[in-house]
Amino acid sequence: MPDNPNTEKPTELHPLDTEDWEIAFAAYKGHPGAAVMMGFNLMVLKSYISVEPLQLDKALEGIERAVEVLYPFTQFHEMCHDMYVKLISGNLTLEEEEKLKKWGIKF
Protein backbone atom coordinates (compact mmCIF):
# COMPACT_ATOMS: atom_id res chain seq x y z
CA MET A 1 0.00 0.00 0.00
CA PRO A 2 1.39 3.45 -0.86
CA ASP A 3 2.58 5.67 1.96
CA ASN A 4 0.94 8.72 0.46
CA PRO A 5 -2.09 7.83 -1.66
CA ASN A 6 -2.35 11.39 -3.05
CA THR A 7 1.11 11.34 -4.62
CA GLU A 8 1.94 7.69 -5.10
CA LYS A 9 -1.21 6.33 -6.73
CA PRO A 10 -1.08 5.80 -10.47
CA THR A 11 -3.08 8.32 -12.47
CA GLU A 12 -6.47 6.91 -13.32
CA LEU A 13 -6.91 7.11 -17.08
CA HIS A 14 -10.26 7.15 -18.81
CA PRO A 15 -10.83 5.90 -22.34
CA LEU A 16 -11.19 8.50 -25.06
CA ASP A 17 -14.64 7.78 -26.38
CA THR A 18 -16.49 9.36 -29.29
CA GLU A 19 -18.32 11.84 -27.07
CA ASP A 20 -15.02 13.12 -25.66
CA TRP A 21 -13.72 13.77 -29.16
CA GLU A 22 -16.99 15.40 -30.27
CA ILE A 23 -16.73 17.84 -27.37
CA ALA A 24 -13.04 18.49 -27.98
CA PHE A 25 -13.48 19.09 -31.69
CA ALA A 26 -16.71 21.11 -31.60
CA ALA A 27 -14.59 24.25 -32.03
CA TYR A 28 -13.65 23.05 -35.52
CA LYS A 29 -17.23 23.37 -36.80
CA GLY A 30 -17.09 25.84 -39.67
CA HIS A 31 -13.29 25.55 -39.92
CA PRO A 32 -12.72 22.60 -42.28
CA GLY A 33 -9.11 23.51 -43.09
CA ALA A 34 -8.17 23.58 -39.42
CA ALA A 35 -10.02 20.28 -38.90
CA VAL A 36 -8.04 18.64 -41.69
CA MET A 37 -4.80 19.96 -40.17
CA MET A 38 -5.76 18.45 -36.80
CA GLY A 39 -6.41 15.15 -38.58
CA PHE A 40 -2.93 15.31 -40.11
CA ASN A 41 -1.39 16.05 -36.71
CA LEU A 42 -3.21 13.12 -35.10
CA MET A 43 -2.03 10.78 -37.85
CA VAL A 44 1.57 11.96 -37.37
CA LEU A 45 1.26 11.16 -33.65
CA LYS A 46 -0.23 7.78 -34.53
CA SER A 47 2.70 7.02 -36.84
CA TYR A 48 5.18 7.94 -34.10
CA ILE A 49 3.69 5.31 -31.80
CA SER A 50 2.77 2.59 -34.29
CA VAL A 51 5.39 2.48 -37.06
CA GLU A 52 8.81 0.96 -36.59
CA PRO A 53 11.03 2.28 -35.28
CA LEU A 54 8.83 3.72 -32.57
CA GLN A 55 9.41 7.41 -32.03
CA LEU A 56 7.83 7.83 -28.63
CA ASP A 57 9.98 10.84 -27.75
CA LYS A 58 8.68 12.70 -30.80
CA ALA A 59 5.08 11.75 -29.93
CA LEU A 60 5.47 12.92 -26.34
CA GLU A 61 7.13 16.17 -27.44
CA GLY A 62 4.29 16.78 -29.89
CA ILE A 63 1.68 16.21 -27.20
CA GLU A 64 3.53 18.53 -24.80
CA ARG A 65 3.62 21.26 -27.46
CA ALA A 66 -0.11 20.77 -28.13
CA VAL A 67 -0.90 21.12 -24.41
CA GLU A 68 1.11 24.33 -24.23
CA VAL A 69 -0.55 25.78 -27.34
CA LEU A 70 -3.97 24.91 -25.90
CA TYR A 71 -3.23 26.60 -22.56
CA PRO A 72 -3.97 30.22 -23.64
CA PHE A 73 -7.46 29.15 -24.73
CA THR A 74 -8.34 27.90 -21.24
CA GLN A 75 -9.71 29.67 -18.18
CA PHE A 76 -6.36 28.94 -16.54
CA HIS A 77 -4.47 31.32 -18.80
CA GLU A 78 -5.11 34.22 -16.46
CA MET A 79 -4.57 32.19 -13.32
CA CYS A 80 -2.18 29.33 -12.89
CA HIS A 81 -0.25 27.20 -15.38
CA ASP A 82 0.69 24.60 -12.75
CA MET A 83 -2.96 23.99 -11.82
CA TYR A 84 -3.81 23.61 -15.52
CA VAL A 85 -1.14 20.93 -15.93
CA LYS A 86 -2.24 19.17 -12.74
CA LEU A 87 -5.90 19.19 -13.86
CA ILE A 88 -5.30 17.78 -17.34
CA SER A 89 -2.86 15.21 -15.91
CA GLY A 90 -5.44 14.01 -13.38
CA ASN A 91 -3.29 14.99 -10.42
CA LEU A 92 -5.35 17.61 -8.58
CA THR A 93 -5.96 17.07 -4.91
CA LEU A 94 -9.51 17.40 -3.59
CA GLU A 95 -8.47 20.68 -1.95
CA GLU A 96 -7.23 22.03 -5.28
CA GLU A 97 -10.42 20.92 -7.04
CA GLU A 98 -12.49 22.81 -4.47
CA LYS A 99 -10.29 25.89 -4.89
CA LEU A 100 -10.80 25.83 -8.66
CA LYS A 101 -14.56 25.48 -8.23
CA LYS A 102 -14.57 28.51 -5.93
CA TRP A 103 -12.65 30.46 -8.59
CA GLY A 104 -15.39 29.54 -11.10
CA ILE A 105 -13.28 27.16 -13.17
CA LYS A 106 -15.45 24.58 -14.92
CA PHE A 107 -14.04 21.16 -15.72
* 88 three-state secondary structure: helix
Please state the φ and ψ torsions of residue 89, each to the nearest 5 degrees: -90, -10
Instruction: Spell out the residues 6+ positions from residue 94 whose beta carbon is closer than 8 angstroms to its own.
Output: none
Q: What is the CA radius of gyration of the chain?
A: 17
In tens, the pLDDT along 52-86 reads 899 999 999 999 999 999 999 888 887 788 888 88
Q: What is the pLDDT of residues 77-93, one digit of tens each?
A: 877 888 888 888 888 89
Helices 32-50 and 56-70 meet at what angle, rounded to 10? 150
pTM of the model: 0.68
